Amino acid sequence: MRTIDQYNFAGKKALVRVDFNVPLDSEYNITDDTRIRAAVPTINKILNDGGAVILMSHLGRPKNGPEEKFSLRHLVPRLEQEFKTRVLFAPDCVGPEAAQLAQELQPGEILLLENLRFHKAEEKGDPDFAKELASLGDVYVNDAFGTAHREHASTAVIARYFPTDKMMGYVMQAELENARRVLGNAERPYTAIMGGAKISDKILIIEKLLDRVDNLLIGGGMSFTFVKADGGQIGSSLVEEDKLDLANRLIKMAKDKGVNIMIPVDSVIADAFSNDANIDTKLSHHIPQNWMGLDIGPDAREQYAAVIANSKTILWNGPMGVFEMSNFSVGTEAVADAVVAATANGAYSLIGGGDSAAAVNKFGYADRVSYVSTGGGALLEYMEGKTLPGVAALERNDY
Ligand SMILES: Nc1ncnc2c1ncn2[C@@H]1O[C@H](COP(=O)(O)OP(=O)(O)O)[C@@H](O)[C@H]1O
Ligand SMILES: O=C(OP(=O)(O)O)[C@H](O)COP(=O)(O)O
């Protein structure tokens, strides 16, 4: 497949789909810039060739149009600091202003478009919306590995309007190369660790992973759907009611396949979603009403660390708890400690996802694991053997 190394961007306007879905704090400061730093070489290659860059991304999951907390405008200062140049901003990703800014864009300049998901057409994969985005640039570069599992207007459909001038950027290239290395020849025991908050997305991936891994450690918000499915009392913990049957089936399926699937035996619980809440530790099956599980407990930490210590390949997506709050970061840090120790003993560790990468950076472990991926769901779907729509769209001409 074509990469940007085979292309001279001189005089071209490159429309670059990046994954700038970075975590922001309540004052809109970027708390982890891994995804921005990852995209720098691609952007620099285009600028150094004498091209102009039009950046498009989503941020978060806005449901009802524009919302301040999901605005990509908050990223402009960070980009200006990185590229030591003014970064233009289009307050809507399509429409006359974006078109004019793109048209007037000069070689060496960068234009950032507002959050694509402020338009429902993005996630619907609307061809007209994709076409309007496509009209802004001469060439399409997809460097958004973290969003390559989505078949959206900017990640897949848009490729049809660039029958020849479409290619992957350096992030996509490096991520696929790394993941491919593990995909076909993971040394065993192979352990997947899954947590985080995107339950409905990620629970669907488990079935396929069961064919590949020896151990599956579940933590984070995802745990409680499994605990409830198993008859436990989970208080007000995060749960996906419509996935309870699936969770039961997955546990049975794991047993049938001989996969060691583990749900945290105990949890750190709180009476509010706050670092200042009252805190206790309870068996995950016995969480009182109005209390919620926000981290894995001490026994689960110990059990998970033991499994990780025996693993030769480790694939981890999704924090074990609300690691952004210090009182609920212990489980994630304990698992990270165990992954670092296993890596030092020769295991290959692959950790991915916006928040998982943030956690690894927070603990200062980025250099002590084998690979930190910008993709979470995308990485898992790739590792289950699926073709990612964002990658397929660059290969095909019939989108
Ligand atoms: N028990 C829990 N309850 C609620 N949220 C949780 C829980 N455990 C983890 N989380 C949250 O999950 C989020 C990360 O989920 P996700 O987006 O799936 O991970 P990633 O970005 O690494 O793919 C974090 O913001 C974290 O606070
Ligand atoms: O953060 C992302 O995925 P991740 O949480 O799996 O790492 C990507 O930006 C995709 O976002 P989405 O899951 O809202 O489509």
Per-residue pLDDT band for 135 (boundaries 50, 70, 90) equals very high
Give the count of beta carbons closer than 10 Å to the beta carbon of residue 157.
25
Active-site residue 35, yes or no? yes
Average pLDDT for the chain: 96
Q: What sections of the chain are H helices per DSSP?
A: 34-49, 76-83, 96-104, 120-124, 127-134, 170-183, 199-209, 223-229, 244-257, 298-309, 330-344, 354-362, 377-383, 389-395
Going by C-alpha positions, the residue among 361, 273, 349, 250 that lies closest to residue 308 is 349
* Burial profile 90-105: b = 16 or more Cβ within 10 angstroms, e = fewer: beebbeeebeebbeeb
Interval 333-383: pLDDT, tens: 999 999 999 999 999 999 999 999 999 999 999 999 999 999 999 999 999
Cα distances (Å, whole numbers) of residue 150 to 111, 122, 254, 319 = 24, 10, 27, 21
What type of residue is 58?
A: H
Least distant ligand from the CA of 116: 2
What type of residue is 277?
A: A
Interval 216-235: pLDDT, tens: 999 999 999 999 999 999 99
What was the ipTM of the complex prediction?
Answer: 0.97
Task: State CA 211 to chain mean position distance.
Answer: 22
- Ligand 1 atom closest to the Cα of residue 293 is 1
Least distant ligand from the CA of 264: 1
Per-residue pLDDT band for 98 (boundaries 50, 70, 90) equals very high
Give 146 Cα–ligand 2 centroid separation in angstroms: 6
Give 322 Cα–ligand 1 centroid separation in angstroms: 6
Active-site residue 377, yes or no? yes
Residue 125 CB–ligand 1 contact under 6 Å? no
Going by C-alpha positions, the residue among 178, 202, 118 that lies closest to residue 154 is 118
The one catalytic residue in 196, 220, 352, 377 is 377
Evaluate whether 148 touches 154 at the Cβ level (below 8 Å): no
Binding residues for substrate: 19-21, 35, 58-61, 117, 150
- Ligand 1 atom closest to the Cα of residue 325 is 27
> Model's pTM, two decimal places?
0.94
Per-residue pLDDT band for 185 (boundaries 50, 70, 90) equals confident
SS3 212: coil
Give 54 Cα–ligand 1 centroid separation in angstroms: 31
Interval 146-163: pLDDT, tens: 999 999 999 999 999 999
